[in-house]
């Protein structure tokens, strides 16, 4: 049974998370992810991580939160909406919506530390670490355990009546709280829209992504030349790809975010293909000064544009 203080503390944390701008907050018991272990092992064995060698590191840490925070009792999972109000014009090379504004890592980290400070001040001293796509944490598995949604066929977390255009973040801490029930129902049913729409056939029928075929992998992670057998398959995506999310019926529920720092540079949405093809390093720096697009660097973006244009 949960004690009154655990119930009270959980409510307190969730309420503060919402006031910091998170869309939802769920709480799961920090324990070994037994179901995920064989899945991760087989995913790596099949080389679905391509040249992302870092995915092979810290296997144990990915599955056991107590290896990241000794004595961890709880994983708090949080969602932050990034669905934009306006999108790029259609006659343009496309970048993922999550990269329209400032880099989410910095924005969410700041909010996570604010939430952690709130916990320290209002509940008591805790040993904790915060994460947002920045360490070996299986964030979708934890979000599902915390009752925030189910994992769709495209391997992203989908939340009922909200969709999937959300960043995920976590606080792992040594404080016991009232745990939420795991989200058990898969509401994708027989729908295969994401599988059918993926131009590189990266979405396999068993809720698995072959990362080595994903457009996001080619345009962001891969540092060498893009394989020629992918010619003509990128549908104008030059940084990331949103195809599987754009076709998902659950994203009809997406509502525009309220985060001013996620607003795109005013010029970005109006850029034509010609503007992209003629982009200079100065313009690149100006447009993407604080954006995640900086990950590809100027030459990486030029490589991606050149690969599609030829």
Which residues are the active-site residues? 133
Contact between residue 28 and residue 180 where contact means Cβ atoms under 8 Å apart: yes
Tokens 């503007």 sit on residue: 275
Side-by-side strand order, sheet with 128-131: 24-29, 74-81, 166-173, 128-131
Q: Is 21 helix (H, G, I), strand (E, B) or coil?
A: coil
- Quick one: CA dihedral 88, 270, 256, 238, positive or negative? positive
Q: How far apart are CA 146 and CA 172, in angstroms?
A: 13
Q: Which helix (H) or strand (E) holds 150?
A: strand 150-151
Residues 6+ apart with CB under 8 A from 198: 154, 243, 244
b (16+ CB within 10 A) / e for 127-141: ebbbbbeeebbbbbb
What does the DSSP 8-state code read for residue 163? B
Tokens of 292: 């995640």
Backbone Cα Rg of the chain: 20
Question: Got the DSSP string for 200-243?
Answer: T--EETTTEE-GGG-HHIIIII--SPPPGGGTT-STTEEE---H
Angular region, 27: left φ>0, alpha ψ -120 to 50, beta rest: beta
CA 196 – CA 192 distance, rounded (Å): 6
């Amino acid at each position: 049974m949960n004690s009154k203080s655990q119930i009270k503390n959980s409510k307190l944390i969730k309420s503060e998370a919402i006031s910091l701008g998170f869309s939802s907050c769920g709480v799961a018991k920090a324990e070994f992810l037994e179901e995920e272990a064989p899945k991760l092992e087989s995913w790596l064995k099949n080389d679905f991580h391509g040249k992302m060698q870092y995915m092979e590191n810290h296997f144990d840490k990915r599955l056991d939160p107590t290896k990241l925070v000794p004595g961890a009792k709880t994983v708090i999972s949080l969602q932050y909406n990034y669905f934009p109000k306006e999108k790029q014009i259609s006659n343009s090379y496309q970048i993922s919506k999550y990269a329209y504004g400032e880099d989410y890592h910095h924005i969410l980290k700041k909010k996570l530390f604010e939430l952690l400070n709130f916990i320290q001040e209002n509940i008591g001293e805790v040993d904790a670490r915060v994460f947002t796509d920045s360490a070996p944490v299986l964030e979708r598995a934890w979000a599902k355990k915390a009752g925030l949604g189910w994992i769709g066929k495209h391997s992203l977390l989908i939340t009922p009546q909200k969709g999937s255009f959300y960043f995920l973040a976590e606080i792992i801490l040594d404080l016991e709280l009232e745990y939420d029930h795991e989200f058990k129902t898969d509401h994708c049913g027989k729908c295969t829209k994401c599988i059918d729409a993926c131009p590189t056939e990266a979405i396999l029928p068993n809720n698995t992504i072959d990362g080595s075929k994903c457009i996001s992998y080619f345009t962001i992670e891969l540092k060498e030349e893009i394989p020629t057998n992918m010619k003509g398959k990128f549908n104008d995506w030059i940084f990331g790809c949103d195809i599987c999310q754009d076709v998902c019926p659950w994203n009809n529920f997406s509502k525009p975010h309220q985060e001013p720092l996620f607003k795109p540079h005013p010029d970005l949405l109006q850029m034509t293909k010609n503007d992209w093809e003629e982009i200079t390093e100065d313009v690149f720096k100006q447009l993407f000064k604080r954006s995640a697009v900086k990950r590809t660097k100027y030459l990486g973006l030029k490589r991606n544009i050149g690969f599609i244009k030829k």
